Amino acid sequence: MSNTQGFSRRQFVSSAISAAAISCLPNGRDLFTGTTAPKSGTREIAQQSSVVLTITPSWRDQGILNVTKSPYAKLRNVPVHAVTIGNGFWAQRREINVHKSIPSMGKLLEANGRVDNFRRLIGKSTAAQRGPVYSDSDVYKWTEAVAFALQSGERPELRTAADKIVKDIVAAQQPNGYLNTYYVGDHASQRMEPKAQQWGHELYNMGHFLQSATAYYRATGDRTLLDAGIHFVNDFLLPNFGPGPDKKPLFSGHPEMELALVELYRMTGDKRQLDLAGYLLRGDSRIHVQPRDYVYHFCGTPFTSRTHLEGHAVRAMYACCGATDYYLETGDPAYWKTLNVLWKDLVSSQMYVTGGVGARSDGEAFGDPYELPNARAYGESCAAIGNMMWNWRMLAATGEARFADLLERALYNGINSGMSLDGTLYCYRNPLAFDPSGGDKIRNEWYDTTCCPPNLERTLASLPGYFYSTSGDGIYLHLFDNSELDWHLENGVGLKVRQKTNYPWDGSVEISLAPAEPTEFTFFLRIPGWTDNAEVGVNGKALAGATPGQYLPIRRRWSAADVIRVQFNMTPQFLEANPQVVENNGRVAVQRGPLVYCLEQIDQPEGVTLKDVALNLGAKSSAQFQEEFHKDLLGGIILLRHAGAAYGESAEHNSLYFRYSAEPRKSRPVSLTFIPYYAWANRTATPMQVWTPISRA
Amino acid sequence: MSNTQGFSRRQFVSSAISAAAISCLPNGRDLFTGTTAPKSGTREIAQQSSVVLTITPSWRDQGILNVTKSPYAKLRNVPVHAVTIGNGFWAQRREINVHKSIPSMGKLLEANGRVDNFRRLIGKSTAAQRGPVYSDSDVYKWTEAVAFALQSGERPELRTAADKIVKDIVAAQQPNGYLNTYYVGDHASQRMEPKAQQWGHELYNMGHFLQSATAYYRATGDRTLLDAGIHFVNDFLLPNFGPGPDKKPLFSGHPEMELALVELYRMTGDKRQLDLAGYLLRGDSRIHVQPRDYVYHFCGTPFTSRTHLEGHAVRAMYACCGATDYYLETGDPAYWKTLNVLWKDLVSSQMYVTGGVGARSDGEAFGDPYELPNARAYGESCAAIGNMMWNWRMLAATGEARFADLLERALYNGINSGMSLDGTLYCYRNPLAFDPSGGDKIRNEWYDTTCCPPNLERTLASLPGYFYSTSGDGIYLHLFDNSELDWHLENGVGLKVRQKTNYPWDGSVEISLAPAEPTEFTFFLRIPGWTDNAEVGVNGKALAGATPGQYLPIRRRWSAADVIRVQFNMTPQFLEANPQVVENNGRVAVQRGPLVYCLEQIDQPEGVTLKDVALNLGAKSSAQFQEEFHKDLLGGIILLRHAGAAYGESAEHNSLYFRYSAEPRKSRPVSLTFIPYYAWANRTATPMQVWTPISRA
């Protein structure tokens, strides 16, 4: 796990500045963003420190995670701007994201008073506070989405609107560094009190503030937000809270600050910030909550004492992110052990086939092992995003493809389903079966708790940053789409990589490499776990050893115009679930490439209802699908057709219970039509299901 | 629906006193129970009215429901004391109930301060209030259980303890009639305020008070509790609350008062009480709660606007009881229509095969249609009891056997499971699958919300009252067990009926009739819906026409020594669930007679785990069971053995998702052993399941 590659070691050690070298420069803060004193005149402009950032590389070249110096990171991020995604699957989604989703969400945050919440504090608005206690975070996540779009150079005009909001946000910060639009006025006395720490989301909000500040800085070089975040951490949190008798204890409440603190540490080198993350991950025994709340909040007890996933799914996923970030810096083996135990729990008993997590609406929580109901699935968009974020960190720690497989599964399915194809409606829940007759409206423009929409937006905006990683050995390719990488190896040699593909509709990918000079390095080509066969050739010559679920290391002296061609078998597959997932007994899911498919009622023959269909598999285990590309359907998809049976209504089956009969139910043959799960609920309200019964016949 | 039988009409009309005839006699209250003024001396003894009870028959001869005068009741209750249950299935449970359950629960109510809550108010205790806001009701339900035991003449010594508690209860009543041990002192200002009406259970508590008072009066003739209840209704509720601008609105909060008010009306003839029940069932538009709360509370909007069961299951069941009671008195067709719509909803999409109801722990609530998870089932004991109570009322309205079938299903299974065989441990939840490795303890001696234990106790104590009903035509036999009825037909002719049977273990029942004089009447013999064949003979002569799920009307001139012999086919059956009950796809439940069976891990061969078993049904639809009576097992049960398959652990099946294979899983033949569901969790902690997969082989 240690980083022993000579070149990178040398490169990074040279720029490492010890924590002791951090200097605080009073009054040195760049105030160009125009922080104004509150109208009341009773508050002074904050006396805050402008911290020297010990950053390698410069702001422009930092990835989603800046793990360039992280001693326990095996892989390093490439910056978002280094990858340009060309026309194809993700370009379509991402274009809608920056042209529709981000602008419309910005308007909704305004219309629902979320930005006025800040303006009220600086005398620019007289509107009352609106929204739940965690509303600040939604503005921050939206700002982060803009920042990632700017990192890609997309729609620079978004900066104008965001800069205005940024100004108002930092102006609302208290002189002592505290920033929150709810715990002011009548609520100020509750600030950081035990109950507010548990339920008030103060640290959660500021964790998102820091993430937003980090992304904004990396997009623009503008330190306005980042300095305000450092002010909060260094001047408000660190002197007043933490272990030791002279400080008040902290309870994370909703994990998020942990991962943000570690990322801050990666820029400042200020080990106090890393230590504070570790402290939050350990919990402080001076704060007592109900035993059930340690479960729900997924914090407050030592992270390393956790044995399984439980409680609020987003909290748990963000805690796992923070713990992995902490591990990447410290290498603490207890963390590594726990992270692997929890990851095994995730994939062996707690995750939907879509990569979604969180079975229960009640507490937005993980259920018991194998409790994975379909229609009742919670599968919050934020939790699937948390799953992706966690696996990105585990991948950085190991370079193991199982983490990339999971990241891809969540991204293409349980996350991608969360935003409508037109980019204006969002899922909070992402169930695996749905019946609109229950009155539930699954896609909505706005939620009073609007955590998911901007989370989806920042994820899509940051996507280029997930395509590649570098290591001391060379470069890893994780995600497939038409794209161009323009970056360099860790030894500094420039490298361009171009992918040409129709992925995920087609399993063939042409990868052209162009190092600035012929260089020996390893190209780690991900062979997805979902395929049963991958044929790989380099410059027309077949290459053996491609193993699904592993990276194929191709080490050679690479030159410009070298081409890797890979063909993944994408034949649709039927998946079974562990028999302990009781709702899926006797049912199968359909997957083609990285995409999980589903049935929507609207696509089935007249008179066929989803509750009365089954798949005719006969004695064959392999799926016999007809594939059809429909350019104009749901943004362009391959739909799948398969022989099935439709049961007629019978008096018996209108009963709730009836005597068992060995006779198969009477049925007629029908052709069943499957669409990708991510595209569901984009037409009319219609029943949907991912898991389809197998016909007994 | 109207009661047109000449004789009974005459009999009852003669004793009917119009509401106008009710006289209030100031200071006429019988204070022989020694109500004492509070020590403080600041309160005066209540000036309350002793109401003339327009009762027919006398207290001693009233049934569980006194529907003798109810114009829309087709059947009438017989008093509890009229049926003596002999040695057999229920005698065993009932003996434990009066000798262990009721005494031990009395001690626990004392030990947990629930009785001191009353004593505190009269200066007999200095202990602080303990327990949730609905704790008074638990004392009342316990008192009601004692009262029903006394009605059977069982353990008259229980009366001594209960009388003491009764004295303290009524002494704690406020002079204005209000009675509650929570909304006093610091909480007194919240009394009957909107929030308290919604969540405070004041009416719920007093509804149970009235039920307790009614049962106590019918057991003893002692009006102490009853007069206090009338005081509350007539002097506190009626003058201050109700429709009209001069009165404050009421919100039922937790339906219960409705059914209690109608039963009170059946004794007093005071139509204001019936009208108040109707008012609560309609809801008062002056009280606004959140839309979701009309769902949860199952009150506040007109009962007749309900279209399906939803919200808190116990609330919904009690509301349905109250609405049926209201219908029995008023014949309002809108109520009858709604009751039938809701009942159809119950049996077609909302009920467990055990008669349990309420799918969700979250809100202790009904789920969506067909949402009937097994391990996650809530199935609160109180809700199953509510289901039984409701069906008892629907049966009274119609004389239709489908209601008796449901009553029997709930009684033998979802209710009976709620109390341990030794009578000291209780289920709150009654799931249909269980894995103790989750850490859940399913049977407990005490719950802080201890609604279920005394509810189970009052139900078992009142059981004799459910065996028979009378009608103008004759008599109905609902439940089978060794027993003797000593009552009379509605024409006054004395009638004894003796059942000899080993039911539910054996399907043969010998029914001896002994009218005081030879009399023509109809003996309505219930042919349970669970049997597929019933052979009935009268005095040795076969009788045709027995139809499962209907009463067989046997009309003749009955004489002493007439004997009906009936033989129900009790061959165990496999039941399937509607395919929309997704957890039960490909699974069957086992039922024998009225008993639903289950598998407990502990009974299966070494090394066989429940999650890896299936039933081998082959091409046969009928079950091939081996039946074994075990006298010393679980209080004496017939266990069932059937051929099954045990799957070995495979690497694949340790995964959460894996490729579908048409190959059946490798398995070995095993004999699976089923026990009655009600007897589960009476040995060691061991997995259990009701629904077992069918082997594909």
* Min distance B80 CA to chain A CA atoms (Å): 33
**B369, closest residue in chain A (CA to CA):** A438
Residues of B in contact with A531 (CB under 8 A): none
The average pLDDT across A473-478 equals 98
Per residue in B248-278, pLDDT tens?
A: 999 999 999 999 999 999 999 999 999 999 9
Q: Do B621 and A660 touch (CB under 8 A)?
A: yes
Q: What's the rounded Cα separation, in Å, for the pair B71 and B1?
A: 8
Per residue in B162-184, pLDDT tens?
A: 999 999 999 999 999 999 999 99
DSSP code of B248? Answer: B
The Cα-based distances of B246 to A538, B249, B278 in angstroms read 91, 10, 19
Mean pLDDT for all residues in chain A: 91
Contact indicator for B308, B320 with CB cutoff of 8 Å: no
**Res. A284 pLDDT band, cuts 50 70 90:** very high
Q: Are strands A83-85 and A483-488 parallel, antiparallel or unpaired?
A: antiparallel
Q: What's the rounded Cα separation, in Å, for the pair B654 and A578?
A: 7
Per residue in B215-249, pLDDT tens?
A: 999 999 999 999 999 999 999 999 999 998 999 99
**B693, closest residue in chain A (CA to CA):** A585
Q: What's the rounded Cα separation, in Å, for the pair A395 and A402?
A: 8
Q: Is the pLDDT assigned to residue A60 strictly greater than 50?
A: yes
The residues in A 334-363 lying below 8 A from B, measured between CB atoms, are 347-349, 351, 353, 360-362
**Res. B44 pLDDT band, cuts 50 70 90:** very low
Q: Do B656 and A347 touch (CB under 8 A)?
A: yes
* Min distance A398 CA to chain B CA atoms (Å): 22
Q: Are strands B637-647 and A474-477 parallel, antiparallel or unpaired?
A: unpaired
**A440, closest residue in chain B (CA to CA):** B368
The number of CA neighbours under 13 Å toward the Cβ of B233 is 34
Could you report the predicted ipTM of this complex, rounded to two decimals? 0.89
Q: Which two tokens stand for residue B510?
A: 């010998």
Residue A35's pLDDT is what? 33
Residues with Cβ within 8 Å of residue A94, at least 6 apart in sequence: A85, A154, A460, A461, A463
Provide the sign of the torsion angle of the four alpha carbons A243, A245, A246, A249, taken in this order: positive
Phi and psi at B598, nearest 5°, equal -150, 165
**Res. B9 pLDDT band, cuts 50 70 90:** very low
Any bridge partners for residue A241, and if so which? A248
Mean pLDDT for all residues in chain B: 91
The average pLDDT across A546-557 equals 98
Residue B15's pLDDT is what? 31
Residue B619's pLDDT is what? 67
Residues with Cβ within 8 Å of residue A179, at least 6 apart in sequence: A136, A169, A172, A173, A205, A206, A209, A228, A232
Residues with Cβ within 8 Å of residue A521, at least 6 apart in sequence: A473, A474, A475, A489, A491, A515, A555, A558
Residue B53's pLDDT is what? 82
Residue B651's pLDDT is what? 60
The average pLDDT across A135-164 equals 96
Q: Do B612 and A579 touch (CB under 8 A)?
A: yes
Q: What's the rounded Cα separation, in Å, for the pair A286 and B523?
A: 73
Q: What's the rounded Cα separation, in Å, for the pair B275 and A606?
A: 51
Residues of A in contact with B353 (CB under 8 A): 657
Q: Is the pLDDT assigned to residue B649 strictly greater than 80?
A: no
Q: Is the pLDDT assigned to residue A12 strictly greater than 60?
A: no
Residues of B in contact with A349 (CB under 8 A): 656
Residues of A in contact with B577 (CB under 8 A): 656-657
Treating both helix axes as pointing N-terminal to C-terminal, what angle do A313-330 and A271-282 enclose, rounded to 10 degrees?
140
**B354, closest residue in chain A (CA to CA):** A657
Per residue in B133-157, pLDDT tens?
A: 999 999 999 999 999 999 999 898 9
The average pLDDT across B461-484 equals 98
The Cα-based distances of B694 to A505, A696, B310, B588, B615 in angstroms read 38, 11, 32, 7, 5
Per residue in A645-683, pLDDT tens?
A: 998 876 566 789 999 888 878 899 999 999 999 999 999
Q: Do B576 and A349 touch (CB under 8 A)?
A: no
**A310, closest residue in chain B (CA to CA):** B438
DSSP code of A82? Answer: G
Q: What burial class does residue A256 get, using C-beta atoms within 10 Å of its C-beta: 0-12 exposed, 13-18 middle, 19+ buried?
A: buried
Q: Do B617 and A583 touch (CB under 8 A)?
A: no
Residue carrying the six token digits 């919670």:
A378
Any bridge partners for residue B84, and if so which? B484
| Lowest mean pLDDT segment, chosen from A223-227, A352-356, B3-7, B81-85 | B3-7
The Cα-based distances of A330 to B96, B309, B509 in angstroms read 62, 55, 77
The residues in A 405-434 lying below 8 A from B, measured between CB atoms, are 433
Report cis status (omega within 30 of 0) of the bond before A245: no
Percent of chain A whose predicted confidence (pLDDT) is above 70: 91
Contact indicator for A243, A190 with CB cutoff of 8 Å: no
Question: Which ranges in B152-289 belong to alpha helices (H)?
Answer: 158-171, 194-199, 202-220, 224-230, 238-240, 257-268, 271-282
Residue A33's pLDDT is what? 29
Q: Is the pLDDT assigned to residue A43 strictly greater than 80?
A: no
Q: Which two tokens stand for residue B41?
A: 């001396």
Select the residue of A586, A621, A660 nearest B588 (Cβ to Cβ).
Answer: A660
Q: Do B658 and A576 touch (CB under 8 A)?
A: yes
Q: What's the rounded Cα separation, in Å, for the pair A374 and A359?
A: 8
Contact indicator for A326, A363 with CB cutoff of 8 Å: no
The average pLDDT across A466-478 equals 98
Per residue in A560-586, pLDDT tens?
A: 999 999 999 999 999 999 989 999 999
The pTM (predicted TM-score) of the whole model is 0.87
Residue carrying the six token digits 């929580």:
A365
Residues of B in contact with A577 (CB under 8 A): 656-657
Residue B50's pLDDT is what? 73
Residue B696's pLDDT is what? 60
Residue B112's pLDDT is what? 97
* Min distance B622 CA to chain A CA atoms (Å): 8
**B434, closest residue in chain A (CA to CA):** A368
Output the DSSP codes for A186-234: GGGGGTT-HHHHHHS-HHHHHHHHHHHHHHHHHHH---HHHHHHHIIII
Q: What is the dihedral of CA B673, B678, B679, B684, to 10 degrees?
A: 90
Q: Do B662 and A618 touch (CB under 8 A)?
A: yes
Residue B623's pLDDT is what? 65
Residue A49's pLDDT is what? 52
Residue A51's pLDDT is what? 83
Residue B190's pLDDT is what? 96
Residues of B in contact with A347 (CB under 8 A): 656
Residue B697's pLDDT is what? 54
* Min distance A620 CA to chain B CA atoms (Å): 6
Q: Is the pLDDT assigned to residue B400 strictly greater than 80?
A: yes
Residue A30's pLDDT is what? 27
Residue A37's pLDDT is what? 31
Percent of chain B whose predicted confidence (pLDDT) is above 90: 85
Residue A545's pLDDT is what? 96
Q: Is the pLDDT assigned to residue A488 strictly greater than 90?
A: yes
* A617 near B CB under 8 A: yes
* Min distance A673 CA to chain B CA atoms (Å): 19
The residues in A 438-467 lying below 8 A from B, measured between CB atoms, are 438
| Lowest mean pLDDT segment, chosen from B276-285, B402-411, B444-453, B608-617 | B608-617
Amino acid letter, A653: H
Q: Do B368 and A375 touch (CB under 8 A)?
A: yes
Q: What's the rounded Cα separation, in Å, for the pair B650 and A580?
A: 13
Query: CA Rg, chain B, in Å?
Result: 26
Amino acid letter, A421: L
* B174 near A CB under 8 A: no
**A436, closest residue in chain B (CA to CA):** B368
Q: Which two tokens stand for residue A444?
A: 């909505």
Residue A467's pLDDT is what? 98
Residues of A in contact with B611 (CB under 8 A): 579-580
Other beta carbons less than 10 A from residue B649's beta carbon? 10
Q: Do B375 and A582 touch (CB under 8 A)?
A: yes
Q: What's the rounded Cα separation, in Å, for the pair A358 and A239?
A: 37
Per residue in A82-112, pLDDT tens?
A: 999 999 999 999 999 999 999 999 999 999 9
The Cα-based distances of B326 to B226, B298, B338, B470 in angstroms read 20, 16, 12, 20
Q: What's the rounded Cα separation, in Å, for the pair A275 and B448?
A: 42
Q: Which two tokens stand for residue A392?
A: 């990105």
Q: Is the pLDDT assigned to residue B32 strictly greater than 80?
A: no
Residue A546's pLDDT is what? 98
**A361, closest residue in chain B (CA to CA):** B362
Any bridge partners for residue A173, and if so which? none
Q: Do A663 and B587 touch (CB under 8 A)?
A: no
Q: Is the pLDDT assigned to residue B46 strictly greater than 50?
A: no
Residues of A in contact with B653 (CB under 8 A): 578-579
The average pLDDT across B112-118 equals 97
Q: Is the pLDDT assigned to residue B469 strictly greater than 80?
A: yes
Q: What is the dihedral of CA A475, A479, A485, A490, to 10 degrees?
A: -20
Q: Is the pLDDT assigned to residue A517 strictly greater than 80?
A: yes
Q: Is the pLDDT assigned to residue A130 strictly greater than 50?
A: yes
Domains recognised in chain A with CATH numbers: 6-466 (1.50.10), 493-568 (2.60.40), 574-693 (no CATH)
Phi and psi at B576, nearest 5°, equal -105, 155
Treating both helix axes as pointing N-terminal to C-terminal, what angle do A401-409 and A381-398 enclose, rounded to 10 degrees?
160
Q: Is the pLDDT assigned to residue B484 strictly greater than 90?
A: yes
